[in-house]
Amino acid sequence: MKKGLIILIIVILIIALPIMWGIKRYNRFVTEQQTVKTAWSQVENVYQQRFDMVPNLVNIVKGARDFEQETLVAVTEARSKMGGKIEVSPETITNPQAFAQFQAMQDQLSSALQRLMVVVERYPELKSNQNFLQLQDQYEGIENRVKTERMRYNDTVGAFNKLIVTFPNNLLARMFNIPTFEFFKAAPQAEQAPAIAF
């Protein structure tokens, strides 16, 4: 009787231990996925703040006499390509093409806004407009937050992707069809130093 009970306990342990290990690993994957999704929601949040600020910036700048219209058009077009709101499906952060498209639209708006801020320097009436100066400060703060939140997102993605591609986690991740997440990458030509002429 004792020998049969010992064999039964050993069989139960042989079956239960891998199952318990698998449950623990799976729960960690899910927890880390939520950490990445939380970081992503912060990225979306700051992009939305920037997106919402654009009409105010454009309206104030439009009031400046002889302001360069092509710069305003570039900002307005970059914003309108995104639609009415920053809405991204959850699959975007695991789909390389959708993520690249989202990043390209954001990079285009960033570039247009940077051109707008550079061009503004030529207009003294804008540099003395209190509303514009406040919006300019807010814009600079939001751009800093964008960089910070993208960096945090990339950090969480790096930790998660490393977790699910290492052995034996990769076997379990593949079994449960848990995808890796996409990283933010530098904009094209970012590695080239800008030409500065004096």
> Residue 66 domain-assigned?
yes
> Residue 176 domain-assigned?
no
> Residue 111 domain-assigned?
yes
- Number of separate domains in the chain: 1
> Residue 187 domain-assigned?
no
- Residue 64 confidence (pLDDT) above 80: no
Distance (Å, whole) CA 36 – CA 138: 26
Q: In CATH, what number is assigned to the domain containing residue 110?
A: 1.20.1440.20
The boundaries of the domain holding residue 133 are 35-158
Each residue of 29-57: pLDDT tens digit?
999 999 999 999 999 999 999 998 888 88
> Residue 196 domain-assigned?
no
Cβ atoms of 93 and 182 within 8 Å: the answer is yes
Each residue of 4-16: pLDDT tens digit?
888 888 889 899 9
> Residue 113 domain-assigned?
yes
Looking at per-residue confidence, does 157 or 188 come out higher? 157
> Residue 17 domain-assigned?
no
Confidence band (pLDDT; 50, 70, 90) for 24?
A: very high
> Residue 165 domain-assigned?
no
In the prediction, which pLDDT does 27 show? 95
